[in-house]
Chain A
Amino acid sequence: DAKTTQPPSMDCAEGRAANLPCNHSTISGNEYVYWYRQIHSQGPQYIIHGLKNNETNEMASLIITEDRKSSTLILPHATLRDTAVYYCIVRVGGGGADGLTFGKGTHLIIQP
């Protein structure tokens, strides 16, 4: 899997949009960008993934640059419950057929 780079921590005010960046400059053509988050003392939770088009679901939006070397996860209206470590993971698509390689992630702190 390609390596990713994320800022170690970020703050965001409650109710504002949280924008979490991720660099993945060595991504291959068949690799997807996945985002998971881990709330304190819980198991990681899937958020969203994409290949090259922007994606949106009920939790977040994923913006991938045209060259696919970086992406941004957007939580449109952050709440205190969104405080967690967010992991950007690059992996080959194909039905969840391999393990996830987690980096250090970004610790997002939502401030009241």
Chain B
Amino acid sequence: DAGVIQSPRHEVTEMGQEVTLRCKPISGHDYLFWYRQTMMRGLELLIYFNNNVPIDDSGMPEDRFSAKMPNASFSTLKIQPSEPRDSAVYFCASSLWGSSYNEQFFGPGTRLTVL
């Protein structure tokens, strides 16, 4: 398996622009998570889905952030409009309910820079 795939790996944009981050989870996994990592706040959970349905979005910082999962193999995290404080590494992870280790598999992340 190719693991969790994220694109793009790096994104540089200007303040006010729309940014879309993409994630392909491991095939067969039924949970998908979005995390954000900054030096100041560390790793934070933003939102997670179960069977394509958002379960907990309490970590989404504000209305400028939205996430969707139109099918089991694709999810997006959108920021509109983007601000410099959104600069961070965004990780996507997936897991399978009931698996023996209950582990989450993380993608390589998308490094976002908002100028």
Chain A residues near B98: list those with CB within 8 A.
Answer: 95
Whether B99 pairs with A95 at a CB distance below 8 angstroms is yes
Chain B residues near A104: list those with CB within 8 A.
Answer: 42
Chain A interfacial residues counted at CB < 8 A: 23
B56 at the A interface (CB under 8 A): yes
A43 at the B interface (CB under 8 A): yes
Kindly supply a per-residue 1/0 record for chain A positions 30-74, scoring 1 wherever the CB is within 8 Å of any chain B CB and 0 otherwise.
Answer: 001010001001111110010000000000000000000000000
Chain B residues near A43: list those with CB within 8 A.
Answer: 4, 91, 93, 106-109
Kindly supply a per-residue 1/0 record for chain B positions 9-24, scoring 1 wherever the CB is within 8 Å of any chain A CB and 0 otherwise.
Answer: 0000000000000000
* Chain B residues proximal to chain A, CB less than 8 Å: 4, 31, 33, 35, 42-45, 48, 50, 56, 59, 91, 93, 95-99, 101-109
Chain B residues near A97: list those with CB within 8 A.
Answer: 31, 50, 97
Whether A96 pairs with B43 at a CB distance below 8 angstroms is no
Chain A residues near B105: list those with CB within 8 A.
Answer: 46
* Complex-state Cα separation, A38 to B37, whole angstroms: 12
Chain A residues near B108: list those with CB within 8 A.
Answer: 42-43
A94 at the B interface (CB under 8 A): yes
* Closest partner residue, chain B, to A87 (CB atom): B43
Distance in Å from the Cβ of A19 to the closest Cβ of chain B? 22
Interface centre among A95, A96, A98 (most CB of B within 10 A): A96
A100 at the B interface (CB under 8 A): yes
A76 at the B interface (CB under 8 A): no
Q: Of A45, A87, A95, A101, which one neighbours B102 at CB under 8 angstroms?
A: A95
Q: Of A34, A41, A99, A102, which one neighbours B42 at CB under 8 angstroms?
A: A102
Distance in Å from the Cβ of A75 to the closest Cβ of chain B? 18
